[in-house]
Amino acid sequence: AASPAAPAVPVTAPTPPVLPTPVQAPGGSDVETAMLTNLYERVNVSVVNITILGKVGDLVDPSLPIPTPQNPDELVPTSQGSGFVWDTEGHIVTNAHVVEGAEGVRITFADGTSTTAEVIGSDPDADLAVVKVDPATAALVAVARGSMNDVKVGQRVAAIGNPFGYNGTLTVGVVSAIGRSISSLTQFNIPSVIQTDAPINPGNSGGPLLNMDGAVIGVNAQIETTNGVRANSGVGFSIPISIVERVVPALISEGVYRHAYLGISGSTFSPFCADVLGIDPTLRGAYVNDVAQGGPSDAAGVRGGSRAINKLTCPEMAGGDLITAINDQPVTRFDDLLVYLETYSSPGDTITLTVLRDGKEQKISIELGRRPQRSQ
């Protein structure tokens, strides 16, 4: 006899996944799109294209066509960058390297209005400069300024500038790191720099890095390069607003900014070098490799290394002071000294270093000098 048929098993169609519905903003767009669109509409009016004028032989921007001057003395576009309106008096902030060597400067605003500008101040140590336009020649909308106290790794940021001459370009990313140190146009480094993956390319230099409120938190200055190729690699650097707020007013009023000068070179102390340096490996601080002859630290008696050692990745000389505090503020790395001097000190101020020398702690008072002028 035939076996009874198995009961039919009902087939249930798979339930499609439920995707989250984007949060809608007025007008039907998602919140992030609305935020970025609003930011761009508010801030782009404050961002300018800076065209540098010079002789044909000074052409440094490969994205510019090779000009054909009408006469040998005619000034032609040689390079370009970005900038932003600082105030309604006509002051515009950019990088020092953007305007370096300029024989003429032309500013183009977001609405296409163009006018000439004058470089009124430049600080190669911070890579910042200020140019000024006649406020009667354009409708000037000053940027809002943020605070480094609110800048966190991972927060969203935007950059507006003119990469490769494409005016008013918005790019978006995050703060990848803070507290970086990058080279300036001189032998001194710029501390407290913001690293971002917001795409920054040649032509973005001098433009603003913005938080999502549209406030400036940095001035875009450099990108990481590989084998000399100057294209975005997701590693860009912006001079922090904390330094901009100190330097720019001085450039406007005096044309220069006077950086405090300690007159030492050194490195962050590593426990790996504790044995050859004769320093307790549990300590942290800034090790003094060398003291500039005749400088403020030399006059105060700060001691640099004096005994040759031979251990890779360690200072070349032992016997230097270990700086553990400046004005009672802890120093755990050499950049802490740079940050303190750039943020809180001026030439002529007296600061107190706490140092460890021959195993004993002592205090050294130093009257800060002014950084030596840029070496040629």
Q: Which are the catalytic amino acids? A: 97, 127, 205
Torsion sign, CA atoms 170, 78, 257, 372: positive
Q: How far is CA 221 from CA 154, 313, 353, in A?
A: 20, 29, 32
CA distances 70 to 51, 74, 129, 183, 290, Å, are 19, 7, 31, 39, 54
* Cα–Cα distance for residue pair 174/308, rounded to 1 Å: 44
Whether 140 contacts 113, CB under 8 Å? no
What does the CA dihedral 99, 102, 104, 109 come to, rounded to 10 degrees? -20
